[in-house]
Copies of this chain bind each other. A is one copy, B any other.
Amino acid sequence: MRILTAGESHGECLSAIIEGFPKGVRIEQDFIDQELKRRMSGVGRGRRMAIESDKAEIVSGLRNKITLGSPITILVRNKDVKIFSQNKDELPILSIPRPAHADLSGALKYNESDIRNILERASARETASRVCAGAVCKQFLLNFNIDIASFTVGVGSVISDVKPKTVSEIKTKVKSSQLNSIDPKKEKLMISEIKKIEEEKDSLGGIIEIWIEGMPVGIGSFMDYKARLDAKLAYYLMGIPAVKSVEVGLGFNYGKARGSVSHDEIYYSKTKGFYRESNNSGGIEGGISTGEPIVLRIAMKPIATLRRPLNSVNLITKKAEKAIVERSDTCAIAACAVIAENMAAIAVMESFLDKFGSDTLSEIKTAYRAYAKNLDNL
């Protein structure tokens, strides 16, 4: 499976092509739209989200909702199409880069003095097409009861220590949250913090936990360093704009622990087969899945655009000035969580197909069942 995404923040549309997707998978456009809607929601979002109401258009790869095995093309039209339909000269040149965004490094990389030519693609708007691709993968994975959810662990100084037990518990709880939280008490504090920060024209990041349930044991590989499941998940999660930290299971705290208390001992029962009583590994040992839930944690830095702008320098005059203020969010933690779930879905599906083939859902199910049966017989 190979995926390319495309599209500028104010261009005509965002797009994605997914090549090598199995034949015979039912794909609901509503499911994708629901993910796109989740991506646009959450306390702390700015005006752009009020303008857009993203809809996925699937223009290839399906017949009557069933995948054909051919490449799937998904488009998301931008409503706020500004610059590409107008004459460039009528648009003001943006020349004062925002710290923490790609503005300055991008302008230098491309020897460009109009930052618009950088930020249009560097904008997190492009993640809408990743969510489309991920939402297609999620639907594939559900055929194998592999389900993914996420929740907000922290925003600014507020950290929740509520731990879920299952993906379905997470899904139920976040449904009634404005911030993808499973901890109603802390959520209130988080929202207060966001409102306060919003008034101060400042911005916030946060911490997200992602759960992947139902992964069979043995997905990923230690045979080549590029095939490790944890490596691939880190690749795709760290590739989300603003994500600066990725952890698996106990993560950072593993560095402080000793083996005897942090490793997940192995047990066996006739009904469960091999199992663990803890999941510090986050469901991955030796680069492959253990069969326990995969648990990942990412940290998102505060939004780069502040309405009370930071110190910067005009690229043309070289004079100190305040950074440009593009319309933006105060905190996009709930959106980031949706993107993370969907990037995780892509990573996990790629490794899953590596093991079970990729021509048709029916053949993959045959391979999966034969493998599962072998596990039982072991």
Contacts and interface: CB of A to CB of B under 8 A. Distances in A.
Interface string A185-203: 0000000000001001011
Nearest to A311: B265
A205 to B, nearest CB: 5
A250 to B, nearest CB: 7
Interface string A317-352: 010100100000000000000000001000000000
Interface in A340-378: 343, 354-360, 362-363, 366-367, 370-371, 374-375, 378
Given A4-B19, A108-B378, A259-B204, A312 B238 contact: no
A310 interface: yes
Interface string A56-71: 0001111110001111
A286 B107 CA distance: 11
B225 A239 contact: yes
A47 interface: no
Contacts of A111: 360, 362, 374, 378
Query: Nearest 10 CB-CB pairs, A to B?
Result: A102-B286, A109-B218, A231-B239, A255-B299, A234-B238, A259-B302, A235-B235, A6-B71, A203-B259, A254-B301
A249 to B, nearest CB: 6
18 contacts: A8-B60, A13-B59, A99-B263, A104-B274, A108-B274, A108-B291, A154-B256, A204-B258, A238-B246, A239-B287, A245-B246, A245-B248, A247-B299, A260-B306, A263-B306, A265-B310, A356-B357, A366-B370
Contacts of A236: 225, 231
Interface in A153-180: 154, 156-157, 159
A271 to B, nearest CB: 12
A150 interface: no
A265 to B, nearest CB: 4
Interface residues of A, number: 155
Copy number of this protein in the oligomer? 4
Main secondary structure of the interface of A (DSSP, over half): mixed
Nearest to A207: B255
Nearest to A317: B268
Contacts of A290: 104-105
Residue from A121, A268, A310 having most chain B Cβ neighbours under 10 A:
A121
A224 B263 contact: no
A4 B2 contact: yes
A106 B70 contact: no
Given A4-B224, A6-B72, 13 more contacts: A2-B4, A8-B60, A12-B60, A13-B59, A64-B88, A104-B274, A108-B274, A109-B219, A238-B246, A245-B245, A252-B299, A266-B311, A355-B359
A266 B103 CA distance: 11
A137 interface: no
B8 A99 contact: no
A258 B108 contact: no
A108 B259 contact: no
A203 B258 contact: yes
A363 B359 contact: no
